[in-house]
Amino acid sequence: LNWPAHINVSVNVSPLQLKNRKFPEIVKNVLEKTGLNGARLEVEITESVLMDEYEHKNVILNELKALGCKISMDDFGTGYSSLSYLWKFSFDKIKIDRSFIQALPDPTAKEIIQAILGIASIRAMTVTVEGVETAAQLQMVSNMGCSVAQGYYLGRPLQLAFAGTRDTESALV
């Protein structure tokens, strides 16, 4: 890939993919084929992925980390949220679900975001807030200490064409 060095690739991974014992090998082959350094690949999973077969999936996630990949918990705070996931696996990043950002300036939403930021700082994890759609939201999350945000206010997803592959969409903000 001829992307600038500061651009990373984020990929959502399904529960089915994480059940496949060969998934780390598949990722390794893709990294070799594309020339992408594993440290530039961010594998995003939702909390629900870890609900069953935790030990098996934990092995696979650790193998992906051994390739240099970063592991992110996407949509944190929705559905099956459990702090035990943050304790049992060393995620590199937590992505706070957009529903909390959309609820701002509600004091409860703000408190939850601040609590997640506090936990992440203890565990040395990066936090991304999803769904920033206004300047006011960006200012609020910035004032809370969030340093990474994504959403339509910051930019729309861009379409990229890769030589020899079909067109792919990717959010680069």
Structural tokens at position 51? 């609900």
Token pair in block for residue 113: 């975001």
130 is catalytic: yes
Q: Which residues contact 91 (CB under 8 A, 6 or more apart)?
A: 71, 72, 73, 85, 123, 125
Contact 88, 54 (CB under 8 A): yes
Q: Given 42, 44, 47, 130, which residue is catalytic?
A: 130
CA atoms within 13 A of residue 93's CA, in its CB half-sphere: 25
**One-character DSSP codes across 88-100:** HS--SEEEE-HHH
Tell which residue, 126, 127, 173, has the closest CA to residue 151.
173
Written as six digits, the tokens of 165 are 């592959």
- Residues acting as catalytic residues: 130
